[in-house]
A and B are shown apart, each in its own frame.
Chain A
Amino acid sequence: MSQRRFEGSGLRAYAIFYLLFLYAPIILLPLFAFNSGTIIAFPLQGFTTDWFSQMWGNATLRRALANSLTIAVSASILATCLAIFAARASTRFDFPGKGGIMGFILLPMVLPEIIVAMSLLVVLLGAGVELSILTVILGHALICMPYGIAILSTAFSSLDRSLEEAAYDLGETKWGAFRLVTLPLVMPGIISSLLISFTISLDEFIIAFFLAGKEPTLPTYIFSQLRFPKQIPMIMALGTVLVALSIVLLAIGEYFRRRGIARIGGKDTGGFL
């Protein structure tokens, strides 16, 4: 047994070291956001919250934030609605071409985003569609949908079919049974899918960069400022806020995902993917 414990502690040290490596850049973020020095380097100067107030007073940034929120809310709702259809179809029904269709819908998960963005851009420009936040929403909904399907499939597949049948037997219509029985049971999955899609969309750069036209979103605004050294401390402050926000959103999403699994009496099998 001692050998096993020894191995365990070695692996444990490695795993903790690995986590530190994963978190290294994120730990630096607040350090520089509250640092009064204008150059991003050690040693740190003094404590300041100037960068946060500078961020707050920036009009372009506010516009970018408003755009990003509009896009993220719309895209996550659209993606989750479509994902509900797909998850329900794939877990409950058998139909010809199922594997191919599902594989195709899940394709954006592995397809490089540059390909999605470029091909969509070529078509939109060719069709004379003006680029706006609407075109970004279309692209974001496409790449968020597979994640929503992954989450919702778990929710739908662990559903007990006899519950619905009981509702039919008690005289409910199909839609009534879905609304009154199925929907409440998969609700945690839906919320979790909304939150994950929202986080993905808020953070997505490539599609927004090429499809937004002249409208800024948070990531494209950040990208445009990275080449001005003077703006970097403010970007660090913005990054701190964004990271804190996504951690809160993810924690809520994780909470609902686990509650959903507990509600249908399943066993937790792990993370989002």
Chain B
Amino acid sequence: MARRGLDPEARQGLTLIAPPFLYALAILAAPLLTILAYSFLTDGYLEILRQVTLSNYAQVLTDPIVRTVMLRSLFVSGMVTLVTVALAFPVAYYVSFMVRPERKSMWLFLITIPFWTSYLIRVFLWKVILGYNGVINSSLTGLGIIDEPLTFILYNVNSIVLTLAHAYAPFAILPIFVALEKIDRSLLEAGRDLGESRLMTFWRVTLPLAMPGVIAAVLIVFIPTIGDYVTPELIGGGKIPMIANLIQVQMLALDNRPLGSALAVTAMLIVAIVSLLFLFLNRRFLKVRQ
């Protein structure tokens, strides 16, 4: 293809896009490049030495604590993604296929409201629900079902997964819903007319066509949850750190910005690799749509 010259339309478009683009360059790209640069520098006592090194990355890759925390973060966000998407699919299916068209927006509105209301307080309320004197324990002891409060429900990885799965639920429902809405209903009738059972029609027609939405849901839940800071802090009691907590400690408490930067860059790389791997594995489904 020959390179087009800048026709007036392109020039106008570029002029319009310039302010938001420059803003994102200044506030997002420049800082990201800075931590990328920092990650190759050496940490001095009070200042950062301008000596290029790979030792930060060596430390990130070999330190057992970093490895534990990194694997935990991956495990937690993997579990959260699985739980959220699996639980969300039937709801999206119900709203798209069973709810009358004029009531769909109402359902979507109801589903999105909790997502927009104080994240911090919602996370804290899970602590209230799961805590030693919490809602579950005080109800169960009050009803005489248990004598001692259950201690295994708070301050562990499962409670972190539960809280995050709750927080990101609407994120998973919306993309799946959008994909389901796009499905041509006559395809399903065709499947039925050709003698497929309802279940097989779902399996061979609906599910593959809904796959792009499922993949979008997986990515949109997986990427932010791996960097969650608040939930491990509140629900994990600060004793079960995830990668975000580790980055914060290195950057601020220990004031080792090069190592903190290397951690951040590694975390971003891992997220990018996992996401690309996932997209690659699902190429087949994504092609259906185009």
**A→B interface (CB under 8 Å):** 3-4, 7-8, 11-12, 14-15, 18-19, 21-26, 28-29, 32, 39-43, 82-83, 85-86, 88-90, 92-96, 98, 101-102, 104-105, 107-108, 110-116, 118-123, 126, 138-139, 141-142, 145, 149, 196, 199-200, 203, 205-206, 210, 219, 222-223, 226, 235, 239, 242-243, 246-247, 250, 254, 258, 268-273
Instruction: Determine whether the beta carbon of B17 is less than 8 Å from that of A86.
Output: yes
CB distance from A232 to the nearest CB of B (A): 8
Residue in B11, B32, B170 whose CB lies within 8 Å of A119: B32
**Most chain B beta-carbon neighbours within 10 Å: one of A15, A23, A258:** A15
Residue in A18, A199, A258 whose CB lies within 8 Å of B87: A18
CB distance from A44 to the nearest CB of B (A): 10
Instruction: Determine whether the beta carbon of A122 is less than 8 Å from that of B125.
Output: no
Instruction: Please give, as numbers and ranges, the residues of chain A lying within 8 Å of B105 by CB-CB distance.
Output: 254, 258, 268, 270-271
CB distance from B131 to the nearest CB of A (A): 8
Q: How many angstroms from the CA of A96 to the CA of B244 in the assembled complex?
A: 36
CB-CB under 8 A for A28 and B133, given A15-B90, A119-B264, A247-B117: no
23 of the cross-chain contacts (CB-CB < 8 Å) are: A8-B98, A15-B94, A19-B110, A25-B166, A26-B117, A32-B128, A88-B16, A93-B9, A94-B9, A104-B29, A111-B28, A111-B227, A114-B244, A115-B268, A119-B31, A141-B23, A200-B116, A206-B229, A210-B248, A226-B234, A239-B121, A269-B181, A273-B171
Q: How many angstroms from the CA of A46 to the CA of B121 in the assembled complex?
A: 23
* Closest chain A residue, CB of each to CB of B10: A95
CB distance from B41 to the nearest CB of A (A): 11
CB-CB under 8 A for A14 and B117, given A96-B10, A271-B174: no
Instruction: Determine whether the beta carbon of A118 is less than 8 Å from that of B260.
Output: yes
Instruction: Please give, as numbers and ranges, the residues of chain B lying within 8 Å of A116 by CB-CB distance.
Output: 28, 31
Instruction: Determine whether the beta carbon of A104 is less than 8 Å from that of B181.
Output: no
Instruction: Determine whether the beta carbon of B126 is less than 8 Å from that of A25.
Output: yes
* Closest chain B residue, CB of each to CB of A267: B101
Instruction: Determine whether the beta carbon of A119 is less than 8 Å from that of B34.
Output: yes
Verify if B62 is at the interface (C-beta below 8 Å from A): no
Q: How many angstroms from the CA of A243 to the CA of B116 in the assembled complex?
A: 9
Instruction: Determine whether the beta carbon of A83 is less than 8 Å from that of B174.
Output: no
Instruction: Please give, as numbers and ranges, the residues of chain A lying within 8 Å of B122 by CB-CB distance.
Output: 25-26
Verify if B60 is at the interface (C-beta below 8 Å from A): no
Q: How many angstroms from the CA of A11 to the CA of B166 in the assembled complex?
A: 19
Instruction: Please give, as numbers and ranges, the residues of chain B lying within 8 Å of A8 by CB-CB distance.
Output: 94, 98
Q: How many angstroms from the CA of A239 to the CA of B124 in the assembled complex?
A: 11
Instruction: Determine whether the beta carbon of A247 is less than 8 Å from that of B177.
Output: no
Instruction: Determine whether the beta carbon of A203 is less than 8 Å from that of B19.
Output: no
Q: How many angstroms from the CA of A111 to the CA of B271 in the assembled complex?
A: 10
CB distance from A171 to the nearest CB of B (A): 20
Instruction: Determine whether the beta carbon of B113 is less than 8 Å from that of A85.
Output: no
Verify if B198 is at the interface (C-beta below 8 Å from A): yes
Verify if B95 is at the interface (C-beta below 8 Å from A): yes
Instruction: Please give, as numbers and ranges, the residues of chain A lying within 8 Å of B191 by CB-CB distance.
Output: none
Instruction: Determine whether the beta carbon of B251 is less than 8 Å from that of A142.
Output: no
Instruction: Please give, as numbers and ranges, the residues of chain A lying within 8 Å of B31 by CB-CB distance.
Output: 116, 119-120, 122-123
Instruction: Determine whether the beta carbon of A113 is less than 8 Å from that of B227.
Output: yes
Instruction: Please give, as numbers and ranges, the residues of chain B lying within 8 Å of A272 by CB-CB distance.
Output: 112
CB distance from A6 to the nearest CB of B (A): 11
Instruction: Please give, as numbers and ranges, the residues of chain B lying within 8 Å of A85 by CB-CB distance.
Output: 16-20
Residue in B98, B219, B230 whose CB lies within 8 Å of A206: B230
Instruction: Please give, as numbers and ranges, the residues of chain A lying within 8 Å of B174 by CB-CB distance.
Output: 270-271, 273
Within 104-163 of B, Cβ neighbours of A (below 8 Å) are at 104-105, 107-114, 116-122, 124-126, 128-129, 133-135, 138-139, 142
Instruction: Determine whether the beta carbon of B248 is less than 8 Å from that of A118.
Output: yes
**Most chain B beta-carbon neighbours within 10 Å: one of A3, A138, A199, A273:** A273
Instruction: Please give, as numbers and ranges, the residues of chain B lying within 8 Å of A270 by CB-CB distance.
Output: 104-105, 108, 174, 177-178, 181
Residue in A11, A104, A119 whose CB lies within 8 Å of B21: A104
Instruction: Determine whether the beta carbon of A42 is less than 8 Å from that of B135.
Output: yes
Q: How many angstroms from the CA of A223 to the CA of B123 in the assembled complex?
A: 11
Instruction: Determine whether the beta carbon of A101 is less than 8 Å from that of B135.
Output: no
Known: A138-B27, A269-B178. 9 other contacts (CB 8 A): A11-B90, A11-B93, A25-B126, A118-B248, A120-B27, A203-B119, A206-B229, A242-B117, A247-B117
